[in-house]
A and B are shown apart, each in its own frame.
Chain A
Amino acid sequence: MLAATRLTYRINRFEVWSITVMTVLSVIVSTAVVAWLAQSGYANCRGDEFGNMDAHCLSLAAIGDWVIRIDRASLSLVLLFPFIAGLLLGAPLVAREIDRGTARLAWSLSPSRLRWYVHRVTPILVVLGVAALAIGVVADRLTGALMPAEDLANSFVGFHGRGVLIATGALLVGSTAVALGAVLGRPMQTILLALVLGGLLQVAVSEVDRKVFLQNETVVDATGNYSDSNIYLDSRFVLPDGSLATWDELIAYDPSILTAEMGPTYPNVSLIIPGSRYRSVEAREALAELAIAAVMLVAGGVIVMRRRPG
């Protein structure tokens, strides 16, 4: 397996090097940003009610504003990483070999195409997973550096943009690209289709989670305080019997509110997923993405075993 791994990295050296260099640079820059923000304390420089900062903060502002911009830009780019890495590493893996005819050579040498598939896919997915996990951890630190007071283990701040979901998202997109590449046998078409399908699958996971599973974890928040730590789902009106009603249900219950000058007087509450559920929600979505990635890889293997070599 060691020799097969070495050869797979050599065959895909441009892609592997690109992602490795991108990840290492990202880690270095992010570490420097996080270290500077932590050391200088600039992230705590909020200014007074008129926006004026104290002398210490003002002395850091010239550099600090740039560091904050780099931090925010990095966090924005993190959202693209699962797609960039997943497509770059996953799409050519099988598609290019079919397109260039090297799959024909390999499949004529190997009685077991499954062995060839495992030799190709495993090392690349390891690189993809490790790189994306590193980026996810880095994004966690960058978010923490911007909001030192936030307990990120119990907060939905930067949800989907940090932590393990970056890694599972990349594996989902990469595996989708591998499977589509096995079907299409053309790298460019694979990249385009995997971009669309990978994106749709990620959105689907999040939406299904929100609509099916998160309903059970919804909490009624009557404090009226909005917090970035929570996921805000909807608002409801509290009826005299204590039950909750939507706006349409409220109109059906009390049509007079439509003509009331001051609007509805019923207490308003928010339906939220509290930040304390972050880890469980994150774990559930990560598992769902991993499960879909596994299905895609199995599908890719089945296609490889059945298709013509091109």
Chain B
Amino acid sequence: MEAALEAHGFGKRYRRRAWALRAVDLAVPSGSITALVGPNGSGKSTLIRSWIGFERPTEGSLLTGGVDPRRDRKGAVARVGYVPQSASLYSGLTIADHIAMAVTLREGFDPILAAGYVERLSIPLSAAAGELSGGEQAQVGLALALGTRAGILLLDEPLASLDPLARREFLHVLVEAVRAEGHTALLSSHVITDIEQACDRLVVLGKGHTLLDLSIAEALAHHRVVEGSGGAALAADRVVVGSFPSAGGERLTLVRVRAAEAVTADGRAGERPATLEEVVIGHMAAGRIRRPVAPAEEAA
């Protein structure tokens, strides 16, 4: 399976502060829509920004479409369409101006494609960006990224401040475009329903490195939930991942199944299949540790 985005022993440290990420090994397969999830401050944005060359790795290496962004940032940017958390449009420019600007900045930018995505959502091209809602601005940001016709889309929590309808519309456009063009997308998000709706792969970051990297189907097949904090005896093929409170307040524990099992309605006694939300929360609970450490350091 060819990887569109790769991280090999990647680490990032800001000045002399603690490591934001350390010893991250990751491969995002071509043609996938991968969700990147993790607690606040787990380094999701740092990783995404590093793949587009906005951050320099402190250690390790990255590949963006086969190009090392540290050595060839131009090449990396040319392979990527990027949507940041805040669309950061020019408030005084119209949407048509933004598309015209993209044409002046990037060879091969497709203004008709970008305008098409914008108009499909009934956003007038003559509207000033400052007059648009947050959801509309995010859509324009996505349209600009799609207009680049880049094979890789990096989306850094673009849905964070959007209402449910705006999120749904954004994801609809994203999934349709990615499937139609055969793009690879990496979507950083906290909203599990978005991930279920759009993504086929899940990466959880925590402790400064990768805690989980599986397809959504594998993630569901490999995890179960038990009531309590996991202190009770577990079968030998179960490993406790993390404990967290349910919506009702009782303590739940996510356990990992060593070999994937078909999810059955009843499962083993005391267990039930985990939802995707529980898989994510269980790993995030496990990853809630301040100082990222390298795996070798952790083992010691």
Residues on A lying within 8 angstroms of B by beta carbon are 1, 3-4, 7, 10-11, 13, 100-102, 104-112, 115-116, 119, 308-309
**Which B residues touch A112, using CB under 8 A?**
74
Interface centre among A11, A102, A116 (most CB of B within 10 A): A102
| Cα of A105 to Cα of B147 in the assembled complex, Å | 13
The 8 Å CB contact of B82, one of A102, A108, A115, is: A108
Residue of B nearest to A108 (CB): B82
Chain A residues with CB under 8 A of B55:
308
Query: Is B74 a contact partner of A111 (Cβ separation < 8 A)?
Result: yes
Q: A108-B80, A109-B109, A111-B74 are in contact. Are A13 and B89 (CB under 8 A)?
A: no
| CB neighbours of B78 from chain A (8 A) | 111
Which residues of chain B are near A101, meaning CB under 8 Å? 84, 86, 88
Asked if B89 contacts A105 (CB within 8 A), the reply is yes
A110 near B77 (CB under 8 angstroms)?
yes
A sample of 6 cross-chain residue pairs with beta-carbon separation below 8 angstroms, ordered by A number, consists of: A104-B54, A105-B84, A107-B54, A109-B105, A111-B77, A115-B105
Nearest CB of A to B136, in Å: 15
A119 to B87, CA, bound (A): 21
CB distance from B69 to the nearest CB of A (A): 11
Most buried by A among B88, B89, B90, B148: B88
- Cα–Cα, bound, A123→B275 (Å): 56
Whether B97 sits at the interface, judged by CB under 8 Å, is yes
Contact B148 A105 (CB under 8 A): no
- What are the residues of chain B within 8 A of A4 when measuring CB–CB? 101, 104
Q: In the complex, which residues of chain B have a beta carbon less than 8 angstroms from the beta carbon of A11?
A: 90, 92-93
User: How does the 8 Å CB contact mask read for B94-113 relative to A, with 1 for contact and 0 for none?
Assistant: 00010011111110010000
Interface centre among B84, B92, B104 (most CB of A within 10 A): B104
| B90 partner residues in chain A, CB cutoff 8 A | 11, 102
User: In the bound complex, do residue A106 and residue B92 qualify as a contact, i.e. CB atoms below 8 Å apart?
Assistant: no
The answer to whether B84 and A3 have CB atoms under 8 Å apart is: no
Q: Specify which of B88, B102, B104, B109 is in contact with A102 (CB 8 Å cutoff).
A: B88
Cross-interface CB contact of A106 among B100, B105, B141, B145, cutoff 8 Å: B105
What's the Cα separation between A107 and B105 when bound, in Å? 9
Contacts of B216 in A (CB 8 A): none
- A108 partner, pick from B52, B74, B97, B101, beta carbons under 8 A: B52
Q: Is the CB–CB distance between A7 and B106 below 8 Å?
A: no
Residues of A within 8 A of B52 (CB): 108
B281 contacts chain A at the CB level, 8 A cutoff: no
Q: Which residues of A contact B228 (CB under 8 A)?
A: none
Given contacts A10-B92, A111-B75, A116-B105, contact A104 B100 (CB under 8 A): no
Residue among A3, A13, A104, A308 making CB contact with B88, cutoff 8 Å = A104
Contact residues on B (Cβ < 8 Å of other chain), bracket: 20 to 34
User: With A7-B100, A7-B101, A10-B97 given, is the CB distance from A109 to B86 under 8 Å?
Assistant: no
Q: How far is the CA of A107 from the CA of B97 in the complex (A)?
A: 16
User: CB-CB contacts of B47-61 with A at 8 A, as 1s and 0s?
Assistant: 001001011000000
Contact A107 B100 (CB under 8 A): no
B97 near A7: Cβ-Cβ < 8 Å: yes
Beyond A7-B101, A109-B106, 5 extra complex contacts between A and B, CB < 8 Å:
A3-B101, A102-B88, A102-B90, A109-B148, A110-B77
Give the distance in Å from the alpha carbon of A227 to the alpha carbon of B136 in the complex.
69
Closest chain A residue, CB of each to CB of B80: A108
A102–B141 Cα distance when bound, in Å, is 11
Cβ-closest chain A residue relative to B145: A108
Q: Among A101, A105, A107, A108, find the residue whose CB has the most chain B CB atoms closer than 10 A.
A: A108
Query: Is B199 part of the contact surface with A, judged by Cβ < 8 Å?
Result: no
Q: In the bound complex, how far is the Cα of B238 from the Cα of A308, in angstroms?
A: 44
The winner among A3, A4, A104, A116 for most chain B CB atoms within 10 A is A104
Asked if A308 contacts B102 (CB within 8 A), the reply is no
In B104-129, which residues have CB < 8 Å from any A CB?
A: 104-106, 109
* Cα–Cα distance between A112 and B101 once the two chains are bound (Å): 14
- Say yes or no: A102 contacts B92, CB within 8 Å: no
Q: Give A13's nearest chain B residue, CB to CB.
A: B92
Inter-chain contact B100/A105, CB cutoff 8 Å: no
B204 at the A/B interface (Cβ < 8 Å)? no
| CB nearest to B85 among chain A residues | A101
Q: Does B171 contact A (CB under 8 A)?
A: no
Residues of B within 8 A of A119 (CB): 104-105
**Interface contact A104-B75, CB-CB below 8 Å:** no
Return the chain B residue nearest A119 by Cβ.
Answer: B104
Is the CB of B144 closer than 8 A to any CB of chain A? Answer: yes
A100 and B80 CA atoms in complex are apart in Å by 22
In the complex, A16 Cα to B54 Cα: how many Å? Answer: 30
Taking CB as reference atom, which chain A residue is nearest B77? A111
Contacts known (A100-B88, A101-B88); A3 close to B105, Cβ less than 8 A: no
- Shortest CB-to-CB span from A101 to chain B, Å, is 3
CB distance from A121 to the nearest CB of B (A): 14
| Contact between chains at A111 and B106 (CB < 8 Å) | yes
A308 and B105 CA atoms in complex are apart in Å by 18
A139 to chain B, nearest CB (A): 33
Residue of A nearest to B83 (CB): A108
Q: Chain B: which residue is nearest A105 at the CB level? A: B88
Whole-angstrom distance from the CB of B115 to the nearest CB of chain A? 15
Closest-CB distance, A284 to chain B (whole angstroms): 38
Check A109–B102 contact: CB distance below 8 A: yes
In angstroms, Cα B69 to Cα A308, docked, is 13
Min CB distance, A93 to chain B, in Å?
Answer: 13
Q: Complex Cα distance A109/B146, Å?
A: 11
